[in-house]
């Protein structure tokens, strides 16, 4: 049984799988989901565990492998690393959409990429909280200090909503930010990138560099890191563009085979 109400096979449209990043949750996609559903897409906003890149990617890949029919993936922030790893070799994933995100190459991590260009305020806004690890020891969880959250993460979100986002943020394990990807799905799957020019989390210059390297189709928008919350319409529009391009490509392929 599909994890969506209507599968891609039933609707004739690809399933959209959304992957959130650190300091956010699946609800950060709510506005995007509402828009995509109005357009008729089956949608799943996966609950990214944020426990480590390989663990997170394995979790997302298990979901991908359960889905019938074609899939278009979209990821925000650290979710871009997870998507890049998880989608590699997944035959049903037809398009990748990076939203205020990173598209790493093999061996690259969040920390390593953020060091390439100036402008990120994340490093000076993080607080560490020690928590038990699975092996019985201790590890560190990362939070954005709540007072700094609106400025760093959600500068164009209304203050009341930004304050709620700060209070409900999902922490990421420190290791998730340090691990490098072992596979790069964008090398074999076409990609689209939404670049946020007012981003204080992942600088726009870094987003441009990564999108250009990946050969990604890009759109730029004046928005903060939390663009899926502040401006869900353009995010949904780019996902729709990727999905339509994917559908046309599949139809042309089937036509040639027929």
Strand 172-173 relative to strand 138-144, pairing: antiparallel
Say if residue 63 is exposed, middle or buried (CB neighbours under 10 Å; 0-12, 13-18, 19+).
middle
Does residue 194 sit in helix, strand or coil? strand
Give the C-alpha separation, 164 to 176, whole Å. Answer: 24
Give tens-digit pLDDT for 69-83.
999 999 999 999 999
pLDDT tens, N- to C-terminus, the chain (258 residues): 355 555 555 567 999 999 999 999 999 999 999 999 999 999 999 999 999 999 999 999 999 999 999 999 999 999 999 999 999 999 999 999 999 999 999 999 999 999 999 999 999 999 999 999 888 889 999 999 999 999 999 999 999 999 999 999 999 999 999 999 999 999 999 999 999 999 999 999 999 999 999 999 999 999 999 999 999 999 999 999 999 998 865 554 444 445
Measured CA to CA, the distance from residue 11 to residue 15 in angstroms comes to 9
Which three-class secondary structure state does DSSP give residue 18?
strand
What pLDDT score does 4 carry?
57
């Amino acid at each position: 049984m599909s994890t969506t109400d209507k599968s891609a096979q039933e609707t004739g449209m690809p399933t959209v799988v959304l992957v959130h990043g650190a300091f956010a949750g699946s609800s950060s996609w709510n506005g995007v989901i509402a828009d995509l559903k109005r357009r008729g897409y089956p949608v799943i906003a996966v609950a990214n565990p944020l426990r480590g890149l390989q663990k997170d990617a394995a979790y997302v890949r298990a979901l991908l492998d359960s889905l019938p029919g074609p899939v278009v993936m979209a990821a925000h922030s650290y979710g871009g690393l997870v998507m890049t790893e998880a989608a590699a070799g997944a035959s049903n994933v037809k398009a990748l959409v990076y939203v205020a995100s990173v598209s790493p190459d093999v061996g690259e991590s969040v920390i390593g990429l953020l060091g390439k260009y100036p402008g990120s305020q994340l490093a000076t806004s993080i607080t560490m909280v020690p928590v038990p690890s699975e092996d019985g020891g201790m590890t560190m969880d990362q939070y954005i200090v709540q007072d700094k959250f609106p400025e760093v993460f959600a500068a164009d979100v209304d203050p009341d909503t930004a304050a709620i986002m700060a209070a409900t943020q999902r922490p990421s394990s420190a290791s998730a930010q340090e691990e490098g990807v072992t596979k790069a799905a964008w090398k074999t799957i076409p990609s689209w990138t939404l670049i946020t020019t007012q981003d204080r989390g992942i600088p726009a210059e870094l987003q441009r560099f990564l999108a250009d390297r990946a050969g990604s189709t890009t759109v730029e928008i004046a928005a903060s890191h939390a663009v899926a919350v502040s401006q869900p319409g353009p995010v949904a529009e780019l996902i729709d563009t990727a999905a339509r391009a994917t559908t046309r490509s599949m139809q042309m392929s089937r036509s040639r085979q027929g």
